[in-house]
């Protein structure tokens, strides 16, 4: 189970206590506050707090005494301009705090985004729960034959069954032994900071993660991308759905300029210009490497 | 004037619009929101937004599903423990956004604190206002004769009058010429990005500054300190007064362990232990340099 | 004068002392070490130290025990791949330390790049030199009529002469008064930390600036760009010339993918595809705003 | 084995190639370059590159054109002054790059130090080696009964034997299954990015880690401390031994002011002053909590 009844009761208690505030408030985000959005088999993301809204971006860009501009259309135009021209500081003026439950191997990728604040559940101080990520059958994929760091076809039949069985039985055995090493029943009991080393990377951990909107967009661009590993991508997508409700104008600009955009090299620009002039360009005549040509064709045909 | 009537009207409008929120709310900070707290002759600090309260520190430290602990006394003990043992990440879970109006030479010191978000009023895009910091007579101090980067006695009589006259007349002349270079009346008018180079470092600028509580405490420790230049110290003190109302438990711990604390070197510990054992220790027998001894005696007599 | 004879002697002394080292060494960068490359009228950049070379990027990407790959062509291909796919961490494994002399208003833009280490000459501790940036006649430009933060036509005749005269005389008068306020001749002498507030933003300051190659590339992309203010762009260009000699493969990839590249929004991709299909697209039918269309046409005609 | 013969040959090749350089060079650090210093049962730290020396700290603090001061004794005094007064920026002007092989559970603590550059061996791209940390018998400790995140007495007899057996057999079984899931012999073979999730936290990983001296000192203060987990402390101690040879003056100041120093709260200062005045102070009359009093007595008796 993702959230226990006791935890759900704590969440419900927080959602029952509205307070008046003079701060910028985002109705879309209030609806998400504290709720656990399930991700993978036992994970979740929960918005625990937020600061700012679309107007706060405009307000900071203008260093103003009041709120954003008078008209939403003006806010939208300015936000798109800021995004297009990489004026990142106004987006840094919004902040969000999340509670995330995630497998350790996902956490290890995630933490590489350094410009964020993190408080992780401590395996030195506490005993970890018996919860492991076991991929759904459609996610049990073979090693890609074309991409050294990607997945290929889905495993089937006996191979899939054997993998699932190994993952489950190894996880459970490792946890049984973790518990038995910790036990103080008739023995001293190994230190928690040592016993945890027996646990595999698909065990779940939890953390509070706080980040500004600019750095969150950077995270989403890399981790909601098709090249990201599936298991972190689903977290990025769940977060993106909340961000869309929080700062709809900024998110729309992000989708157009970042997620839906491409970066062209000087060489690729030259190829496109030759094509626009009617020339047929091949990889051999393009000046692009085979890898670049493959990526170029994926966008431009 | 620090804030114009139009600006005050914008501030009042924001203070008139309470909204319900499910977020953690600090009554002490709500009272400060948007208000301009005057600093120096034309400057101010204004709290524009905040995230979190004392309970949010505890909540993050525990990676919990609900709010802080059940009892304020437990929150206090944990917060003091975290501060004492340099567990900084829970304090990073609170954030504050300020609007600050300050002289450029203060801004240049301030910006050296890199772990913060800043949006400054742009002298490329806009025309700066005719507002300069002119020290109050009691702040017109001579160069210190003992401290290479500090102040000594207050200037008096003709010297003080001459300094004030020079600062005022140079600032006004520089601004007159700034305006006349920019003017498009009968001439092209110099680019704003160039004309601003004529303005002295006591002109006021403005920015939005957003920082987490841990880094804000670091800023306050260095800038509210007696060794900081007076003109930045008064900003730090004005901010500290707001922080005290925002997160009273964390601020009390900060005052005890950081502002009111001292760091002793290994050599200084040895000296204190000899003193505790009844020995009379002099600088010569202490192993401390003259500078260290002076600083040691300032605390311990 | 940019560098005094005494300073030049110190530089020459450092250039006369080669030592053996086992570290990665870049012959192109050794030739630059310590030399002052003049920028603007009194400024310079000097490479004071560096860490790594092109092979070090490859070595880090491979987490290898030895140097880079066996063949330069392999190094080049990998470096281009890393740059294309935004794998930034291997580029962070090279570092450079610069000594820069620059006008204060340039320093204020520069310092906004936070992921770098800075040690600035202190106006609290030391007396600043009488050196001011006065633009060359061809840089005395009017405010742009189309770009709120840019320059237009060059000023001419009497207007240009008047501007130059104001900048020079105000700078000199401000410095005269700075000196006279500091003077301890027959008076106490104002504290340095106060007197400096009288100095205009075109006075020169100096700092040591240390940054990794990834963040330096980001700096160069923004500051060597045509939209950057001329006075910071010339610094970026002088640094870029050194980087080209230091890590030629990485710099070539940077030029192709970043400096010579463009980012297209989802909407702009759609327009290009319609064009490639033979359709004539106008701003009205493009879905792009006027500003976006102007920028789009600047690249694609 | 920590380093294979092939890897050792690569290291030896690098140590055989001295080049002349004009850069600041530290003879003490040259002796360490590239060599693997063993840590734990299969880990190591290797210095791969460095920038700067003691003089470089002084040079940056003075923003000078030449090297440090004329006399080593002046350098030492200035370095101690900088350390004592928390002037951190000159220490940031030195940089070191390490290659580290370490268990994953150690890596997860280490990475929390965010102000550093990291390139880790990729389990998506490559197959990890069969190398696991198994504690030496004297490190197999029970959970501490007084410290929630620490170790107590060493396990003995049958309990110790059982723990060692579980750690070894679980690690080997997990790795056997990792290999068998990856195998493409008669089956598709699971993607590497998935198979790695079966591996326990005591498997070794590797990374390049680059950090400036100020942040390295912060790392060492926290991780070479008696409260740090033993398995990261031994890495910190191995690094500290290299730093001592690299920048002996800065390291000596660090040892005196940071490692050998203590921070006293305002309340603790008051207690010490009462003691110095001859008063007998107990916990009850001290104003300190029980935890604080215990820590206070550990230093002062």
Look over chain D and give the mean of its residue pLDDT values, rounded to a whole number: 95
Check if the beta carbon of residue D182 is closer than 8 Å to that of residue A142.
no
- Which residues, in sequence order, are CB contacts of A122 under 8 Å at separation 6+? D149
Tell me which chains share at least 3 CB pairs under 8 Å with chain D: A, B, C
Say how far apart CA A119 and CA C115 lie, in whole Å: 23
CB pair distance less than 8 Å for B189 and C125: no
Check if the beta carbon of residue D199 is closer than 8 Å to that of residue D90.
no
Q: In chain A, what percentage of residues exceed pLDDT 70? A: 98
Check if the beta carbon of residue A118 is closer than 8 Å to that of residue A212.
no
DSSP state of B122: P
Give the residue on C whose Cα is nearest the Cα of D8.
C65
Q: What is the mean pLDDT of the segment spanning A279-294?
A: 94
Range B116-144 burial, b when 16+ CB lie within 10 A, else e: bbbbbbbbbeeebeebbbbbeeebbbbbe
CB pair distance less than 8 Å for A65 and B3: yes
DSSP state of C122: P
Please list every residue in chain B whose beta carbon sits closer than 8 Å to the beta carbon of residue C167.
197-198
Q: Pick the residue with more confidence: B236 or A72?
A: B236
Please give the backbone phi and psi of residue B17, each rounded to the nearest 5 degrees, phi first: -110, 75
Quote ipTM for the complex: 0.94
Q: Out of B149, B159, B163, name the one closest to residue C124 (CB).
A: B149
- Which residues, in sequence order, are CB contacts of A33 under 8 Å at separation 6+? A14, A15, A47, A48, A49, A50, B22, B23
pLDDT tens profile D155-199: 999 999 999 999 999 999 999 999 999 999 999 999 999 999 999
Say how far apart CA B35 and CA A176 lie, in whole Å: 58
Q: Pick the residue with more confidence: D2 or A213?
A: A213
Check if the beta carbon of residue D48 is closer than 8 Å to that of residue D97.
yes
CA-CA-CA-CA dihedral for A120, A124, A126, A128, to nearest 10 = 70
Q: What pLDDT is attached to residue C69? A: 63
DSSP state of D67: S
Quickly tell me which residue has 């802080």 as its tokens.
B68
CB pair distance less than 8 Å for A208 and B34: no
Look at residue B112 and give its three-state secondary structure.
coil
Q: Which residues of B touch D (CB under 8 A)?
A: 77, 80-81, 84-86, 89, 112, 222, 227, 255-257, 259-269, 272-273, 275-276, 289, 291-292, 295, 299-300
Mutate to test the interface with A, among B35, B47, B65 (most CBs of A within 10 A): B65
Q: What pLDDT is attached to residue B288? A: 95
DSSP state of A23: S
Say how far apart CA A287 and CA B42 lie, in whole Å: 60
- The kind and range of the H/E element at B172 are helix B157-182
| CA distance to partner chain B, nearest, from residue D267 (Å) | 7
Residue A57 pLDDT greater than 70, yes or no = yes
Please list every residue in chain B whose beta carbon sits closer than 8 Å to the beta carbon of residue D300.
272-273, 276
Structure tokens at C151: 């320059």
**Helices in chain A by DSSP H: which ranges?**
5-15, 27-30, 54-62, 72-84, 104-110, 157-182, 192-195, 213-223, 230-246, 248-254, 266-276, 283-286, 290-300
> Residue C106 CB: number of other CB atoms within 10 A?
26
Residue A145 pLDDT greater than 90, yes or no = no
Q: Residue D1 — pLDDT band, cuts 50, 70, 90?
A: low
Query: Crossing angle for the helix pair C72-84 and A290-300, nearest 10 degrees?
Result: 20
- The kind and range of the H/E element at B108 are helix B104-110
Check if the beta carbon of residue C15 is closer than 8 Å to that of residue C36.
no
Q: Residue B2 — pLDDT band, cuts 50, 70, 90?
A: confident
SS (H, E, C) D166-235: HHHHHHHHHHHHHHHHHCCCCCCCECHHHHHHHCECCEEEEEEEEEEHHHHHHHHHHHCCCCCCHHHHHH
Quickly tell me which residue has 């102007």 as its tokens.
C294
**Helices in C16-154 by DSSP H: which ranges?**
27-30, 54-61, 72-84, 104-110
Say how far apart CA B101 and CA D231 lie, in whole Å: 49
Mutate to test the interface with B, among A1, A208, A217 (most CBs of B within 10 A): A208
Q: Which of D8, D6, D1, D17 is nearest to D36 (CA)?
A: D8
Q: What pLDDT is attached to residue B70? A: 64
Please list every residue in chain D whose beta carbon sits closer than 8 Å to the beta carbon of residue B227.
85
Q: Residue A1 — pLDDT band, cuts 50, 70, 90?
A: low
Say how far apart CA C139 and CA C156 lie, in whole Å: 11
Say how far apart CA C54 and CA C77 lie, in whole Å: 12
Q: What pLDDT is attached to residue B1? A: 59
- Annotated binding residue B109: yes
Q: Pick the residue with more confidence: D145 or A281?
A: A281
> Residue C112 CB: number of other CB atoms within 10 A?
12
Q: Residue B44 — pLDDT band, cuts 50, 70, 90?
A: very high
Q: Which residues pair with B141 in a beta bridge?
A: B154
Say how far apart CA B167 and CA A88 lie, in whole Å: 37
- Which residues, in sequence order, are CB contacts of C170 under 8 Å at separation 6+? B173, B174, B177, B198, C200
Q: Which are the catalytic amino acids of A? A: 223
CA-CA-CA-CA dihedral for B45, B50, B54, B59, to nearest 10 = -160
Tell me which chains share at least 3 CB pairs under 8 Å with chain C: A, B, D
Structure tokens at A211: 């980040």
pLDDT tens profile B91-101: 999 999 999 99
Q: What is the mean pLDDT of the segment spanning D58-67?
A: 89
- For residue B227, how far is the Cα from the chain centroid? 13
Q: Which of C204, C128, C19 is nearest to D67 (CA)?
A: C19
Q: What pLDDT is attached to residue B65? A: 86
Check if the beta carbon of residue A26 is closer than 8 Å to that of residue A246.
yes
Q: What pLDDT is attached to residue B91? A: 98
pLDDT tens profile B139-178: 999 999 888 888 999 999 999 999 999 999 999 999 999 9
Please list every residue in chain B whose beta carbon sits closer than 8 Å to the beta carbon of residue D263.
257, 261-264
CB pair distance less than 8 Å for C190 and B150: no
Please give the backbone phi and psi of residue A215, each rounded to the nearest 5 degrees, phi first: -70, -30
- The kind and range of the H/E element at B99 are strand B95-103
Say how far apart CA C123 and CA C104 lie, in whole Å: 12
CB pair distance less than 8 Å for A182 and D124: no
Lowest mean pLDDT among A45-49, A123-127, C193-197, D91-95: A123-127
Residue D251 pLDDT greater than 90, yes or no = yes
Look at residue B264 and give its three-state secondary structure.
strand
Say how far apart CA B198 and CA C285 lie, in whole Å: 46
Check if the beta carbon of residue A58 is closer than 8 Å to that of residue A68.
yes
Q: Which of the residues C15, C23, C223, C258 is marked catalytic? A: C223
Range D10-47 burial, b when 16+ CB lie within 10 A, else e: bbeebeeeeeebbbbbbeebbebbbbbbebbebbbbbb
Q: Which residues pair with C118 in a beta bridge?
A: C209
Mutate to test the interface with B, among A4, A13, A47, A49 (most CBs of B within 10 A): A49
Please list every residue in chain B whose beta carbon sits closer than 8 Å to the beta carbon of residue A24.
49
Q: Residue B68 — pLDDT band, cuts 50, 70, 90?
A: low
Which residue ranges of D are tagged as binding site? Answer: 89, 109-114, 120-124, 196, 212-214, 218, 223
Please say if C294 is a catalytic residue. Answer: no
**Residuewise pLDDT in 10s, chain C (301 residues):** 589 999 999 999 999 999 999 999 999 999 999 999 999 999 999 999 999 999 999 999 999 887 766 666 789 999 999 999 999 999 999 999 999 999 999 999 999 999 999 999 999 999 999 999 999 999 999 999 888 888 999 999 999 999 999 999 999 999 999 999 999 999 999 999 999 999 999 999 999 999 999 999 999 999 999 889 999 999 999 999 999 999 999 999 999 999 999 999 999 999 999 999 999 999 999 999 999 999 999 999 8
């Amino acid at each position: 189970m993702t959230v226990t009844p006791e935890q759900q009761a704590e969440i419900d208690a927080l959602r029952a206590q509205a307070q008046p505030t003079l701060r910028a408030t985002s109705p879309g985000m209030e609806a998400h506050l504290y709720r656990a959005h399930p991700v993978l088999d036992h994970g979740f993301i929960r918005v625990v707090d937020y600061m700012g809204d679309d107007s706060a971006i405009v307000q900071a860009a203008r260093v103003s005494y009041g709120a954003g501009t008078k008209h939403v259309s003006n806010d939208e135009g300015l936000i798109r301009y800021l995004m297009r021209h990489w004026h990142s500081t106004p987006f840094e003026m919004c902040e969000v705090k999340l509670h995330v439950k995630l497998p350790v191997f996902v956490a290890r990728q995630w933490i590489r985004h350094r410009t964020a604040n993190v408080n992780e559940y401590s395996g030195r101080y506490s005993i970890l729960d018996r919860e492991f990520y076991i991929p759904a059958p459609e996610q049990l994929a073979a090693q890609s034959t074309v991409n050294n760091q990607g997945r290929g076809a889905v495993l089937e039949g006996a191979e899939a069954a054997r993998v699932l069985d190994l993952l489950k039985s190894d996880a459970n055995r490792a946890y049984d032994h973790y518990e038995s090493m910790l036990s103080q029943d008739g023995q001293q009991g190994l230190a928690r900071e040592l016993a945890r080393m027996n646990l595999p990377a698909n065990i779940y951990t939890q953390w509070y993660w706080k980040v500004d909107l600019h750095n969150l967009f950077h995270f989403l661009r890399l981790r909601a991308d098709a090249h990201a590993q599936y298991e972190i991508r689903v977290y990025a997508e769940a977060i993106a759905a909340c961000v869309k409700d929080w700062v709809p104008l900024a998110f729309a600009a992000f989708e157009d300029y970042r997620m839906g955009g491409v970066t062209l090299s000087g060489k690729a620009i030259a190829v496109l210009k030759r094509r626009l002039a009617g020339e047929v360009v091949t990889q051999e005549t393009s000046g692009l490497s085979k890898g670049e040509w493959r990526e170029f064709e994926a966008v431009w045909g």
